[in-house]
Chain A
Amino acid sequence: MTIEDLRERAGEERERQGKWKRRILYCSAAGCVSCGSKETAESLKQSLKTGGMDTEVEVVGTGCMGLCGEGPLVKVHPDDVLYERVDTSAANAIVTSHMMRGEIVSDHLVDQTVPFFASQVKVVLENCGRINAESLDEYLAAGGYEALGKALGEMQPGEIIDEVRKSGLRGRGGAGYSTGLKWGIVQKAESDQKYVVCNADEGDPGAFMDRSVLEGDPHRILEGMVIAGYAVGAQQGYIYIRAEYPLAIERLRLAIKQAERNGLLGNKILDSNFSFRIDLRIGAGAFVCGEETALMRSIQGRRGRPKPRPPYPSERGLWEKPTLLNNVETFANIAPIIRNGSAWFAAIGTPKSTGTKVFALAGKIRNTGLIEVPMGIPLRTIIFDIGGGTTEGTEFKAAQTGGPSGGCIPSAHLDLPVDYESLAGIGSIMGSGGLIVMDSTSNMVDVAKYFMDFCVDESCGKCVPCRVGTAHIAGLLGKIVNKKATAEDIGLLEELCMMVKATSLCGLGQSAPNPVLSTLRFFRTEYEELLQPVEGFVPTNGERQETERPWP
């Protein structure tokens, strides 16, 4: 297939879509499927059939539409009407009223002028909820693989890397390393074999950005990876995806098959001399396999344990070969950057953190769901305008970014711009995009303990500080929660946290104390309220332990 064939197919698809009087899009991502969107779709189709309208109206399953808390969601084109909580009876009502008589069903209507929709900027999610995730033609009709055509047909690898570098795109996995620089290192590395790896082992509690992109727009990731492969000189790609995402795996498998059959993957892609294959590798449920060195060992079929860096994967990665490893969202940004140019992308966001960021809003927030905002947007806008504030009028207390590696941000810092440096400056991290909102009913020591228990479970056990240190941090937090701790324990807790952070082998251990340290920083009184009062407290300098726990 050549780029001209692609454009022809895209044109045919657009024509086909235009022939329908209306198209009903229903969300078929995991969130809406779990609240019954498949049944909704069935009853939509049934009602259309009985009403004799199944030749005029098409029913299509799409990716995530964003407002996950109000599912199942249904969108009607070209009227641009969005319905929420569409159960089977609401589906019938939509057909009998909206489809037949053109009257909008106001009971389930979503006002799309509210900030939840108006404040978002969609780059990564541009196709999510707009195209059928299982159709290559629909992706082509939305401009898909145009970027690949441009990259292979008009650009040299060096030009692509320059373009990515100038766009200012930074790794969306959380650490924020410059993507262009990373690509450049892999390109310059000399080797007979190189690899491109996509990290889709999204494991933070409350985070579902990567899953939504993979479920709603899988071809975008493939396109980004092929462009990356061409730019750095790799012929083989792997997507490492967790087994807990069966729907995303199914759609990726389908997308890979479609791409292979149509000459977009495999030998001589788009009739060029470039060949690239992508294979899936399914994780077995270890959080630590999201760490790049552990991930690569897992791909090689070995135990998922990190190893010391350097050497970095870009020098010696999979099977000791130079390996480019990026997150799902990073790859999702590649096609638009190539298509629209680096200047367009760099104009979004802030000078140091360009582009947009996808966040998964969860916790005590009114609009639970998936959003995409320009970098640098104040946290307040995300939580109160887009998120609609906390549920049931309770008072906002903290926002947690970065999952078990991040920190809690108190209301005093709500005006903080959301970019890599600002978040790191107050002891949190950008992370992969999980954003959990907590209100006055949440106890911050419990929150810290929850994340620390998670880290204890997920520590691989290789290095001492993470293996034993996290267990003792969790133990100390338990002691505090059970009101058995003294001020001395808080001191020990802080000392231990600093040590685990400084000495652990990989990112998991180095960032595991963050939730504790940030809650200690901003919500210390909540810890102190739980302490056991000691009359005339005098620090014992460990004399007590000396008798209790002599060693060796």
Chain B
Amino acid sequence: MAIVTLTINDEHLSGNDSDSILTIARQHKIHIPTLCHLDGLSEVGACRLCLVEVEGSSKLTPACSTKPVEGMVLHTNTDRLQRYRRMIIELLASEGNHQCAVCVVNNHCELQNLSYEMNLQYVRFPYLYPKKELDASHKDFIIDRNRCILCTRCVRVCHEVEGAHVWDIAHRGIRCEIVSGLDDPWGDSEACTACGKCVLVCPVGALIEKGATVAEMEKKRDFLRYIVTARQKREWIDIHEEG
């Protein structure tokens, strides 16, 4: 690990070269919007919201999965980036069947918050109105694929943290869907431990607790930080090995 210095939005900063640009930016209170990224999970670079401009490179670079290089000069909020980010939110809005007014996570939704942040008030693309299924077969939780934005946080948390790998992606392109097991009802899944991690990491109202009503559900993601820190310190593993 070494310290590198870099310039973000004309500000001279330093950070660890093993951290991502995104982490360093956030350490210095520079806001870069994200959806698929979540501290504690692996990076997939799928939502493209965290793209930044690197001087000397014609291509945009995802901040979440790029390591800093000494002397790097970055811009995180240019007009062009703002335009593209807005458009990404527009695309996501048009892709699913989102009805904020009747959504369980209304006012606690990352997609909604980003829309407010970018002052997006209407969508220029036609809504695609896909036919998606809701699965309420699980005893505690519901997956409503109409609201899914395919960030794959649930897939990753289940595989990487819980180790159950209940979730995965089926089909491809615009027909992609999150499925449990081999596209079986969630309630039939023998792998699912009902830990609820997937529900808590879901940025929107696609994965929710049963019994919650409109705007009631607020997702708490602190648990991930504790687990990841504990793992780094090997706390649980040692206890387990000794016991």
Binding site for B on A (CB under 8 A): 286, 288, 303, 307-308, 310, 456-465, 467-472, 475, 492, 495-496, 499, 502-505, 542, 545-546, 548-552
A selection of 14 A-B contacts at a CB cut-off of 8 Å is A308-B43, A308-B62, A456-B173, A461-B171, A461-B174, A464-B92, A471-B95, A472-B94, A505-B45, A545-B124, A546-B121, A549-B122, A551-B120, A552-B98
CB contacts (< 8 Å) of A464 on chain B: these are 46-48, 88, 91-92, 149
- Once A308-B65, A460-B172 are accepted as A-B contacts, the answer to whether A552 and B93 lie under 8 Å apart by CB is yes
Chain B window 63-86, contacts with chain A (Cβ cutoff 8 Å), 1 for yes, 0 for no: 001100000000000001001100
Question: A499 and B121: CB pair below 8 A?
Answer: no
- Which residue of chain A is the closest to B175 with respect to CB atoms? A461
State whether the Cβ of B112 lies closer than 8 Å to any Cβ in chain A: yes
Least CB distance, A297 to chain B, in whole angstroms: 12
The answer to whether B169 touches A461, judged by C-beta atoms less than 8 angstroms apart, is yes
Q: Which residue of A lies closest to B43 (CB)?
A: A308
Taken together as a complex, chains A and B put the C-alpha atoms of A126 and B60 apart, in Å, by 42
Residue of A nearest to B100 (CB): A552
What is the distance, in angstroms, from A305's C-beta to the closest C-beta of chain B? Answer: 8
For the complex, what is the distance from the CA of A325 to the CA of B122, rounded to whole Å?
A: 45
CB <8 Å contact, A550 and B46: no
Please tell me if B191 contacts chain A, counting CB pairs below 8 Å.
Answer: no
- Find chain B residues with CB under 8 A from A465 CB: 48, 88, 91
Q: Is B174 within 8 A of A459, CB to CB?
A: yes
Q: Point out the residue from B112, B127, B174 that lies within 8 Å of A549, measured CB to CB.
A: B127
Tell me the bound Cα distance from A549 to B45 in angstroms: 29
Which residue of B has the minimal Cβ distance to A310? Answer: B66
Q: Are B44's CB and A307's CB within 8 A? A: yes
Closest A-B pairs by Cβ, 3 of them:
A461-B176, A459-B173, A468-B91
Q: Which residues does chain B contribute within 8 Å of A545, judged by CB atoms? A: 122-124
For B, the interface residue count at a CB cutoff of 8 angstroms equals 48
In the bound assembly, the distance between CA atoms of A550 and B84 in angstroms comes to 19
Least CB distance from B229 to A in Å reads: 25
Residues of A within 8 A of B3 (CB): none
Within 8 A of A (CB), among B137-151: 149-150
The docked-state distance in angstroms from the alpha carbon of A551 to that of B98 is 9
A471 to chain B: which residues have CB within 8 Å? Answer: 95, 128, 173-174
Q: Is the CB of B94 within 8 A of A503?
A: no
- Give bound CA distance, A288 to B173, whole Å: 10
Q: Of all chain A residues, which has the CB nearest B96?
A: A468
Interface residue ranges, B against A (CB under 8 Å): 43-48, 51, 59-60, 62, 65-66, 80, 83-84, 87-88, 90-95, 98, 100, 111-112, 115-116, 120-128, 149-150, 168-169, 171-176
Nearest-Cβ distance from residue B172 to partner chain A, whole angstroms:
5
Distance in angstroms between the alpha carbons of A495 and B120 in the assembled complex: 17
Residues of B within 8 Å of A499, CB to CB, are 83-84, 87
A456-B172 Cα distance, complex, nearest whole Å: 9
Chain B residues with CB below 8 A from A496, complex form: 87, 125
Would A461 and B122 count as touching, CB distance under 8 A?
no
- When C-beta atoms are compared, the residue in chain B nearest to A479 turns out to be B126
What chain B residues lie within 8 Å of A307 (beta carbons)? 44-45
| Contact in complex: B87, A463 (CB < 8 Å) | no
Q: Apart from A459-B173, A467-B176, A504-B48, what are 17 other A-B pairs with CB-CB below 8 Å?
A: A286-B172, A303-B168, A308-B62, A456-B173, A456-B174, A460-B172, A460-B173, A461-B175, A468-B94, A468-B95, A468-B128, A472-B126, A502-B59, A505-B48, A546-B121, A549-B94, A551-B115
**Which A-chain residue is minimally distant from B62 (CB atoms)?**
A308
A463: B residues at CB distance < 8 A: 45-48
Question: Given the complex, which residues of A lie within 8 Å of B90, measured CB to CB?
Answer: 551
In the assembled complex, which residues on chain A have CB atoms less than 8 Å from the CB atom of B116? 552
A96–B175 Cα distance when bound, in Å, is 60
How long is the Cα–Cα vector from A288 to B172 in the complex, in angstroms? 10
How far is it, in angstroms, between the C-alpha of A461 and the C-alpha of B171 when the chains are bound? 9
Bound-state Cα–Cα, A95 to B66, Å = 67
With the chains together, A392 CA to B112 CA distance in Å? 58
Contact B112 A552 (CB under 8 A): yes
CA distance A347 to B230 in the complex (A): 62
User: Do A458 and B92 touch (CB < 8 A)?
Assistant: no
Docked-complex contact A492 and B121, CB < 8 angstroms? no
Contacts of B150 in A (CB 8 A): 461, 467
Bound form: Cα–Cα A310–B120 in Å? 32
B123 touches A308 (CB 8 A): no
Which of these, B43, B84, B171, B174, contacts A468 with CB under 8 Å?
A: B174
Contacts of B111 in A (CB 8 A): 552
Q: Which residues of B contact A462 (CB under 8 A)?
A: 44, 46
Are A550 and B121 closer than 8 Å at their CB atoms? yes
Cα separation A542 to B121 with both chains bound (whole Å) = 10
**A458 and B45 contact, CB distance less than 8 A:** no
